[in-house]
Amino acid sequence: MTGWLDITGVGAPVTVQDAGRPGKMHHGVPPGGPLVPELLALANLAVGNASGTAALEAFGRLELRARGRSVRVSMGGHAFALADGERLTVPAPESTSVRYVAVDGGLAVPEVLGGRGTLLVARLGGHEGRLLRSGDSLPLGDTNERAEARAPGASLDAAAPIRVTLGPDNRRFGPATVATLLSGAFTVSAATDRVGMRLQGPSLTHGDEGTGTSRPMVRGAIQVTLSGTPIVLGPDHPTTGGYPLIATVIRADWGRLCARRPGAAVRFQEVSLEEAREAWRHHAEHFGVGGRPTPPP
């Protein structure tokens, strides 16, 4: 039976997001994907979907209506039934930056370049490549009667230090600057979006004057601007960049960082490459995330 999820009210930006579009960087398309992969997985697994199924990523209050069929809906890992024609008010996230709303069968928006998620910087995917607004209707995927709801085996700790591997531009940063990164107290700036998270705190001085060669970027890379401000690249990051990179947030900690709201504290901790890989293996097993994206740095 065909079903729809009607958007009847929007209080802040909301888009369709899924596991992303890995492997398209050579075409100038960033990987995208959820801002907080663990929360998307939590919402999807609660209604029997695969962890990266297309769902809503909402930054604020949202009003929805089921149309055409009853729907199993989950928020924060808690699932419940929404009858045909019934409305739902989704509150703004309280302790995290975003909230994910998943429905059984997923959101069946058209697949573009291997993904259904919205890529705002390219105006593709999701619903017409744009933010959702009141009056929009999203098609629902077919339900799987045999699917079993399940939950990840861990909770997201959004207050712990963020682990990084240092480099690759070690020669552009002196020991004192690296020490400042690892010992300084930073906070999330309000100038943060899916492209990147700007951090407020001590300046990270370096000798680069903007003459660095442009090269491929990755999610989690910490660029340092000419003014010494660190910016952590997000899922919709530019595919290339020229600012020097002091470190890279390990993949297992992407969600823990991006779940933080403006003003939240951020501290960094250095780990080895092997520790980063082991952290990802443990993380993927407990949260049910992973699959298509590339391995951690």
pLDDT at res. 297:
36
Grade residue 145 by pLDDT with cuts at 50, 70 and 90.
Answer: low
Grade residue 151 by pLDDT with cuts at 50, 70 and 90.
Answer: low
pLDDT at res. 77:
77
Grade residue 287 by pLDDT with cuts at 50, 70 and 90.
Answer: confident
> For residues 62 and 11, is the Cβ–Cβ distance under 8 A?
yes
Please state the rounded mean pLDDT for residues 150-164: 79
pLDDT (tens digit, 9 = 90+) per residue, 61-106?
999 999 999 999 998 778 999 999 999 999 999 889 999 999 999 9
* Average pLDDT value for the chain: 91
pLDDT at res. 196:
97
pLDDT (tens digit, 9 = 90+) per residue, 23-61?
889 888 999 999 999 999 999 999 999 999 999 999 999
pLDDT (tens digit, 9 = 90+) per residue, 116-144?
999 999 999 999 999 999 999 999 998 87
Helix (H) or strand (E) holding 279: helix 273-287
pLDDT (tens digit, 9 = 90+) per residue, 235-267?
999 999 889 999 999 999 999 999 999 999 999
The Cα–Cα gap between 50 and 70 comes to 20
Give the residue carrying structure tokens 């530019």. 238
Distances (CA, A) of 253 to 13, 50, 140, 159: 24, 21, 31, 11
> For residues 60 and 264, is the Cβ–Cβ distance under 8 A?
no
* pLDDT greater than 60 at residue 176: yes
* pLDDT greater than 90 at residue 285: no
* pLDDT greater than 80 at residue 149: no
The Cα–Cα gap between 51 and 231 comes to 28
Q: What is the DSSP secondary structure assignment for residue 112, as one 8-state letter?
A: B
Cis previous bond, 168, omega within 30: yes
pLDDT at res. 16:
98
pLDDT at res. 215:
85
In the chain, where the domains are located: 4-139, 162-287
* pLDDT greater than 90 at residue 180: yes
Q: What is the DSSP secondary structure assignment for residue 35, as one 8-state letter?
A: S
Grade residue 296 by pLDDT with cuts at 50, 70 and 90.
Answer: very low
Count Cα neighbours of 162 within 13 Å in the Cβ-side half-sphere: 32
pLDDT at res. 154:
61
> For residues 103 and 55, is the Cβ–Cβ distance under 8 A?
yes
Percent of the chain with pLDDT over 70: 91
Contacts of 155 (CB under 8 A, 6+ apart): none
The CATH number given to 162-287 is 2.40.100.10
